[in-house]
């Protein structure tokens, strides 16, 4: 293990968790990741291994059977997993977001029912906010929930669900028109239990997961649509028990998700750096190893600096949230910086590999296709800049 991306001030428990995860990644993920990715095959054995390690309950409070660890621990674990294969980190990410939302906003009944099963990996979560015509404008949501007695009837189409097929619990954001004039007070999060699989769901009439969306990268993990046609959901499955709070609950989850995407960017970038510096010491041109050429050393120096900077920004954002402070500024900065630097580090490693980087035999080819997803997930760079810019104006507003 090199000196890059080290984190000061960790407890012994945190260090032990990370050492265990790093060993799992090196032995169980990296050796099979490229083969599974090329087949677009769900990593069933890896997921079972993560269940045995207790990773699905990493952040869930101990009283519900989890490990009760911090967002920082979660982010560092995600960084290690993404270093092995980014798709695997996606499998735990949406699960973590939904568990966080239930822990932070759920009713006591919802916590008692869902969290122990989520900690054990018996229930695995997915997060559904986006829609085909929505993009980054959440206020334009059209999927609707209408109150009907002690139920809600949901109709609409959701998009870009990570774990949409394999999950058994989906947190779905819908428009409910019960909160007044502001669109942001007219959104509600529903907790929908379903059976894993594709097609019409056998346990939730009217709910359909059409199939996997074919993607350039980020393979193995299933990304899907979700169609709701007169789906009846009990009112006690409104997250928190009160309608109209869904937007704020989702944004809290997205802040956690942005730290996660930053951590994934850090993990992928670190792996790309490892591959690049290793290959540079094996490949020879003009009578010497290419690592001895100044041009390659400059490239490695730039890559390492970006890996380190992104990691430290991600750690700061996680610690802000753990400290109970508002962290949308830091999370936006971390997500923006880590995803952009990840793309650049991966491309530089690709260039170091030369023609071999274009071959599917080399791991860097997979990373080159995976990195672009991080530029989009949990909000584009432009959205992060907008969030950061607004927060900076709040912090530095001059008196008029």
- Supply φ then ψ for residue 188, to 5 degrees: -135, 140
DSSP run (H or E) holding 384: helix 381-395
DSSP single-letter state for residue 150: T
Q: How far are the Cα atoms of 24, 256, 343 from residue 364, in angstroms, in the given order? A: 21, 28, 12
Residue 302 annotated in active site: no
Q: How far is CA 271 from CA 14, 75, 235, in A?
A: 21, 16, 46
Q: What is the spatial distance between Cα 350 and Cα 224, in angstroms, rounded to a whole number?
A: 30
Residue 65 half-sphere exposure, CB side, CA atoms within 13 Å? Answer: 17
CA–CA separation, 362 vs 22, rounded Å? 21
Q: What CA–CA distances, in Å, run from 209 to 128, 167, 256?
A: 12, 11, 26
Cβ atoms within 10 Å of 350's Cβ, excluding its own: 21
> Cα dihedral sign for 264, 269, 135, 389?
positive
User: Helix or strand or coil: residue 388?
Assistant: helix
CA atoms within 13 A on the CB side of 269: 29
DSSP 213-229: PP-SS--SS-EEEEEEE
Strand, coil or helix: 180: coil
Structure tokens at 383: 């959205």
Nearest-CA neighbor of 67 among 105, 111, 14? 14
Residue whose structure tokens are 């404008």: 137
Please identify which of the residues 37, 378, 382, 395 carries the catalytic annotation. Answer: 378
Residues 6+ apart with CB under 8 A from 57: 64, 65, 66, 67, 118, 119, 120, 121
- Active site members: 378
């Amino acid at each position: 293990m090199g000196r890059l991306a080290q984190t000061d001030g960790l407890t012994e428990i945190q260090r032990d968790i990370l050492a265990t995860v790093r060993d799992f990644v090196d032995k169980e993920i990296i050796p099979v990741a490229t083969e599974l990715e090329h087949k677009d095959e769900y990593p069933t054995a890896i997921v079972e291994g993560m269940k045995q390690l207790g990773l699905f309950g990493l952040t869930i409070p101990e009283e519900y059977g989890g490990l009760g660890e911090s967002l920082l621990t979660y982010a560092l674990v995600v960084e290690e997993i993404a270093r092995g294969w980014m798709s695997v980190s996606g499998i735990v990410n949406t699960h973590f977001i939904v568990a966080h939302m239930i822990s932070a906003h759920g009713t006591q009944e919802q916590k008692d029912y869902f969290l122990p099963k989520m900690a054990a990996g018996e229930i695995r979560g997915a997060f559904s906010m986006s829609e085909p015509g929505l993009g980054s404008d959440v206020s334009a949501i059209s999927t609707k929930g209408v109150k009907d007695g002690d139920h809600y009837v949901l109709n609409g189409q959701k998009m870009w669900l990570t774990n949409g097929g394999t999950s058994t619990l989906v947190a779905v954001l819908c428009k409910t028109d019960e909160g007044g004039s502001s669109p942001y007070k007219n959104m509600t999060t529903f907790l929908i239990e379903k059976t894993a699989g594709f097609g019409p769901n056998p346990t939730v009439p009217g709910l359909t997961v059409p199939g996997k969306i074919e993607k350039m990268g980020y393979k193995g993990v299933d990304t899907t649509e979700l169609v709701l046609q007169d789906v009846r959901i009990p009112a006690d499955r409104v997250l928190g028990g009160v309608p109209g709070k869904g937007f704020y609950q989702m944004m809290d989850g997205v802040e956690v998700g942005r730290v996660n995407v930053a951590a994934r960017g850090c993990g992928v970038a670190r792996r790309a750096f490892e591959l690049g510096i290793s290959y540079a010491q094996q490949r020879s041109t003009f009578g010497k190893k290419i690592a001895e050429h100044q041009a390659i050393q400059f490239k490695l120096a730039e890559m390492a600096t970006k890996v380190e900077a992104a990691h430290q920004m991600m750690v700061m954002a996680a610690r802000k949230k753990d400290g109970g402070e508002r962290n949308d500024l830091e999370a936006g900065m971390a997500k923006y910086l880590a995803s952009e630097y990840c793309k650049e580090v991966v491309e530089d490693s690709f260039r170091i590999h030369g023609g071999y980087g274009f071959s599917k035999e080399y791991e860097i080819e997979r990373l080159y296709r995976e990195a672009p997803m991080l530029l989009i997930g949990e909000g584009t760079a432009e959205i992060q800049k907008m969030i950061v810019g607004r927060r900076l104006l709040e912090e530095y507003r001059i008196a008029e």
